[in-house]
Amino acid sequence: MVEIRSIGDFDDPALVPFRTMRSQLDHLGGGVFVAEGEKIVRRLLDSPLEVVSVLVPSRWREVLEPLLDRRSETIQLFVGEKDVLTRLTGFSMFQGVLGLAKVPPSVGLAGLMKGERPALLVALDGLTNAENVGTLIRNHVAFGGQGLLVGETSSHPYLRRSVRSSMGSLFKVPYHESSDLASSLRSLRGLGVRCLGADTGMGAKCLWEVDLRAPTCVVFGAEGGGLRPGVREACDDLVEVPMCAGVDSINVANAGAAIFAETLRQRQMLIPSSAG
């Protein structure tokens, strides 16, 4: 159900999250997040997350209103001209389409492994760059990932820049917020999930030589320092992406894409062919 609202008073409490978009942590503390762009807002409206409001230029009203009408909750639809939206938000946005929704709650570890396929999970240890977090999640979902384990030293996945970089893929995966990642990894191992730390150097196995067909959680460390010692010790094994001489590392999201793609390749080999 849609409640159409015009944009008059910028101090309207319902508009505060759009007026303070740079205050990502404040939004998170209030249990909400902002989704930016037409594609991401569409994916938000197709998701089970609770949507609070949508902000659009006049030309987008007829496009998005049918999607809003299909939702069960009452959603405020703010409509205004693009120059008004720019003054409200402080951003000059190409499309000007924004959505406000409630951050879903963290689930238990067992809740990350729902589904018929062997689990493919990703764990974050000390990832503080929200764009890297979002892109890593996008790659994770693209190659069949099912759940996210967020360590106590990592950025929250529902920060605005993470949501944007994930292109809405984040809405498809449950997450568990851990207060002790090493302990959570040991608990996952007790549930039959093999935990692999993405690392380089002595003791790390080449990606091509690792069996990724069983339930697996891939653990990624900080952009500079890598995995913390306690987290590394909580993993079953370490795995590295092979690289040409002279290159000792790649961006964490790119490393994730390589590992997840190899996981998908190995698991598709188990699917019987329908030919014949």
Using one digit for the tens of pLDDT, what is the confidence trace for 262-273? Answer: 999 999 865 554
Residue 195: both structure tokens together: 């935990």
Residue with tokens 């951003």: 91
Section 183-193 average pLDDT: 96
Is the pLDDT at 94 greater than 80? The verdict is: no
Residue 109: both structure tokens together: 């570890």
pLDDT at 275: 43
How many residues comprise the chain?
Answer: 276
Rg (C-alpha) for the chain, rounded Å, is: 21
pLDDT at 96: 79
Using one digit for the tens of pLDDT, what is the confidence trace for 122-136? Answer: 999 999 999 999 999
CB atoms within 10 A of CB 155: 22
Q: What structural domains and CATH numbers belong to the chain?
A: 2-102 (3.30.1330.30), 109-268 (3.40.1280.10)
Asked if residues 223 and 124 have their Cβ atoms less than 8 Å apart, the reply is no
pLDDT at 273: 46
Higher pLDDT, 98 or 225: 98
Sorted by sequence, the CB contacts under 8 Å of residue 27 that are 6+ apart come out as: 17, 20, 33, 34, 160
